[in-house]
Amino acid sequence: MGSDLDRQIETLLECKIITEAEVKELCLKAREILVEESNVQRVDAPVTVCGDIHGQFHDLKKLFEVGGECPKTNYLFMGDFVDRGHHSVETFLLLLALKVRYPDRITLIRGNHESRQITKVYGFYDECFQKFGSANVWRYCCEIFDYLSLSAIIDDRIFCVHGGLSPSINTIDQIRTIDRMQEVPHNGAMCDLLWSDPDPDACTGWGLSPRGAGFLFGESVAKPFLHNNGLELIARAHQLVMEGYKLMFDDTVVTVWSAPNYCYRCGNVAAILEIDSNLTKNYTIFTDSDRNSTNSRMNPQREGPPDYFL
Amino acid sequence: MSSDSVLQNHHQHREGITTLSHDWTMVKAGTLVEKQTLVTIDAETTVEDACEVLLRGGITSAPVYDSAKQVYVGMFDYGDLMTYILLLLKKMEVPLQDQTMEMRDLIQRTNKSQTVPVKLASDLSGKDPFCTVLPETRLGAVVHDFGTGIHRVAVMDAEGTMKGILSQSSTLDYLMRHLSEYPQLQPIMQKSLQQCGLTNGRVLSVNGEEKVLDALISMSTHSVSSLAVLDDQGMLLGNISMTDIKHIMKNLRTSWLWISCFQLVCKIRLSHGVESGEDQYPILDVNSKSTFGYTLSKLQATKAHRMWVVNDSGCAVGVVSLTDVFRVLSGLIDS
């Protein structure tokens, strides 16, 4: 079993897919681990926190070069592993395999794209169908998405969530009471955690989000939340940042974005947040992998850019 | 304009503020378009180039100006563009007696595959005719027009100078931003959609697998500006609206008219997310138990022109368009 998993990791590291039967097996093993995790998963520093990946496999490999290989470096990925990029399948399966192999060295929390409804629109469903000939792998992955934690907390001081805060949530303990093992609802606390954005213009504290889900929250909401929960920082992802990371609200909220040259055309850099055992924070920037330009030529399964990718 | 009349207008403007500040129906149309940068299209511009103007300006319509005759000849919007495309593709049959002279000219030209100047395509859809109001016209009157389905009015002074375009969207935005100044609007905001009579509408829809072109024909036939895109179980997948036509225009050669409606929904979502750096939820809807005020807030926040009303299972049971919103608000004035 152990050597099978190692072999699968080797295959995925070469950006090659494993079989549908192997995916099913991997998901079963992952479920056993994830079901034990809390809605607010406790993580010990040192750890490297990462934002959206969106199927940009070769840039994920670059991230591992820059941040150090897993499990030598501990990692926390804040969701949005799939959709848009060319290799959502390989990206998610690699991270899942690493989670099964080294469960205490890598933490995966859910992003708004880890959802049946969203992946049908933004590319992951189509990619699964193209690479495996049916929707089975997509279904197995969506079931795993339901088991992913909603958030993480590093040494009780740094709160990590994909989107942001919710008007229904004042304390970390309230998050623990959510029934998370379901498709991301269209509204409510669980939806807000994955969809909200910090907004310096949200003067009255909360505003409806232009995204059509979640809320905009201002400094007058973020600071009391941090204070009431004994936190020093909220780390989140969810929004493209040209400079890779962006601090807001007197450095109490940070957006970390880990997909360089997003969609292979935005020209942004990516970032990771390295937190050492003293909770000292270090932001490392990286650019896209050189392999992206040659990648589509080398992939014989597709002619030209895929339909789901604009 | 002489300095006297400028002063007089200014004086009137100030009078309006001091004596009628809490009655939203008395706000003057001119004040809502004061800081607007106006985009106009020359009448001789080709339809394709006129579309570029709308795309680049991020607007859904623009007045068409005939510089030879020195007069505004109409508005060009995506509804007109859709009618133009359908004509171009000979998918629309318009009986001879219904054709105005300009439409006949247009059809002749499309038959010969010549380029068409936008003056022949403006107000082509027959909906949303060129509607003008004076800067002094009160919002109460404008809102009445909006409630009948007019999406925007051109604010033009007595000399024929265009001051700006006042749309349903920008009016809603103004009212929501200044809601605290107009306490008379509070009661309606608390009412449920059902109490406002907004949950009994028919949902005009298209199946996700149907071709985009068929959806456009359906929109044109039913004289609506959007259709719900549903899956086989009647669950809402997204919507197709007239403003989505701009994407089709960009890609006329790659035949987006023949992809499925769901595929178009995906392509538009993908494109929107990259441009804004944040992905939007594929469906913009409210629950049937929501309040009128919440629905308006969501329309304002998402800049949508309609909210689908869904029941607890996610099936579309109605729609609240900006026209519906203004019909309700104009109903307040009458009562």
Q: What is the pLDDT of residues B106-157, one digit of tens each?
A: 666 666 667 788 888 887 777 777 899 999 999 999 999 999 999 999 999 9
Question: What pLDDT, on the 0 to 100 scale, is given for residue B15?
Answer: 40
**DSSP state letter for A45:** S
The predicted pLDDT at position B11 comes to 36
CA distance A79 to chain B (A): 14
Residues forming a β-bridge with A77 = A50, A108
Query: Nearest CA of chain B to the CA of A95: how many Å?
Result: 23
Cross-chain CB nearest to B280 (options A208, A211, A241): A211
Residue type for position A139: R
Q: What is the largest CA-CA distance in chain B?
A: 66
Domain extent, residue B94, equals 29-180
Residues 55-74 of A with CB under 8 A from B: none
Residue B297: closest C-alpha in chain A: A208
CA distance to partner chain B, nearest, from residue A77 (Å): 18
SS3 A160: strand
Q: Which residues of B touch A240 (CB under 8 A)?
A: 277-278
Same domain, B255 and B173: no
pLDDT, position B113: 64
**Is A263 in Cβ contact with B281 (below 8 Å)?**
no
Q: Which residues of B touch A209 (CB under 8 A)?
A: 301-302
**Rounded distance between C-alpha atoms, residue A158 and residue A45, angstroms:** 10
Helices (H) and strands (E) in chain A, counts: 11, 14
Residue ranges, chain A, pLDDT below 70: 1, 291-310
Q: Cβ of A122 under 8 Å from any chain B Cβ?
A: yes
Q: Which amino acid is at A301?
A: Q
Q: How many CB atoms lie within 10 A of CB B255?
A: 11
Find the CB nearest A213 among B238, B266, B281: B281
Same domain, B111 and B245: no
Nearest CA among A34, A32, A4 for reference residue A19: A4
Please name the residue of chain B whose CA is at the shortest distance from the CA of residue A266.
B274
Q: Are residues B163 and B224 in the same domain?
A: no
At CB < 8 Å, which residues of chain B contact A? Answer: 238, 263, 265-267, 269-271, 273-274, 277-285, 297-298, 300-304, 314
Contacts of A266 in chain B (CB under 8 A): 274, 277
Does B225 lie in the same domain as B174? no
Does A186 contact chain B (CB < 8 Å)? yes
Query: For each of chain B's 335 residues, which pLDDT tens digit applies?
Result: 333 333 333 333 344 444 445 889 999 999 999 988 889 999 999 887 888 888 888 888 899 999 999 888 889 988 888 888 787 776 666 666 666 656 566 666 666 667 788 888 887 777 777 899 999 999 999 999 999 999 999 999 998 889 999 999 999 999 999 999 999 999 999 999 989 988 877 789 999 999 998 898 899 888 888 999 999 988 899 999 888 877 776 655 446 788 899 999 999 999 889 988 899 999 999 998 999 999 999 999 999 999 999 888 878 888 999 999 999 999 998 76
Tell me if A121 and B277 make a contact (CB, 8 A cut-off): no
Rg (CA), chain B: 21
Report the 10 Å Cβ neighbour count for A1.
7
Q: What is the pLDDT of residue B1?
A: 35
**pLDDT over 70, % of chain A:** 93
User: Is B187 contained in some domain?
Assistant: no
Per DSSP, A148 falls in state S
- Smallest Cβ distance to A212: which of B270, B277, B280? B280
The residue out of B180, B195, B223 marking a domain boundary is B180
Cα–Cα distance measured from residue A76 to residue A105, given in angstroms and rounded to the nearest whole number: 8
Specify the amino acid at residue A292.
N
Examine the domain organization and report whether B90 and B226 are in the same domain. Answer: no
Active site residues of A: 113
In a domain, B195, yes or no: no
Q: Determine, for residues A122 and B297 on separate chains, whether the beta-carbon distance falls below 8 Å.
A: no
- Say yes or no for a CB contact (<8 Å) between B303 and A210: yes
Distance from CA of B126 to the nearest CA of A (A): 32
| Residue finishing a domain among B180, B196, B231 | B180
pLDDT (tens digit per residue) in A250-285: 999 999 999 999 999 999 999 999 999 999 999 999
What is the amino acid identity at position A59? D
Structure tokens at B124: 């082509």
Residues B126 and B266 in one domain: no
Helices B168-177 and B139-146 pack at an angle, to 10 degrees, of 130
Amino acid at B156: M
Whether the CB-CB separation of B333 and B326 falls below 8 Å is answered with no
Q: Are residues B40 and B162 in the same domain?
A: yes
Same domain membership, residue B297 and residue B155: no
Distance between CA B227 and CA B215 in Å, rounded? Answer: 8
Question: Given B180, B213, B229, which residue is the final one in a domain?
Answer: B180
Answer for the pair B72, B43: CB distance below 8 angstroms, yes or no.
no
Residue B192: inside a domain, yes or no? no
Q: What is the pLDDT of residue A302?
A: 33
* ipTM beyond cut 0.95: no
With CA atoms as reference, the chain B residue closest to A268 would be: B277
- Same domain, yes or no, for B57 and B170? yes
In a domain, B75, yes or no: yes
Asked, for residue B3, whether it belongs to a domain, the answer is: no
Q: Residue B301 belongs to a domain with what CATH number? A: 3.10.580.10
Radius of gyration of chain A measured on its C-alpha atoms: 18
Residue B199 lies in a domain: no
- What single DSSP character describes residue A102? S
**CB–CB contact B279 A118 (8 Å):** yes
- Is some CB atom of chain B closer than 8 A to the CB atom of A212? yes
Task: Examine the domain organization and report whether B146 and B211 are in the same domain.
Answer: no
A188 and B CB contact within 8 Å:
no
Among chain A residues, CA nearest to B266: A121
Q: Cβ-count burial of B50 within 10 angstroms (0-12 exposed, 13-18 middle, 19+ buried)? A: buried
Q: Tell me: do B156 and B232 sit in the same domain.
A: no
Residue B63 lies in a domain: yes
Cα B49 from Cα B256, distance rounded (Å): 19
Distance from CA of A280 to the nearest CA of B (A): 29
The CB-side HSE value for B132 (13 A sphere, CA atoms) comes to 15
Assess if residue B196 is contained within a domain. no
Structural domain tally of chain B?
2
Residues B164 and B228 in one domain: no
CA separation for the pair A232, A256 (Å, rounded) = 16
Query: CA of A163, closest CA in chain B: separation in Å?
Result: 11
CB A50 within 8 A of CB A258: yes
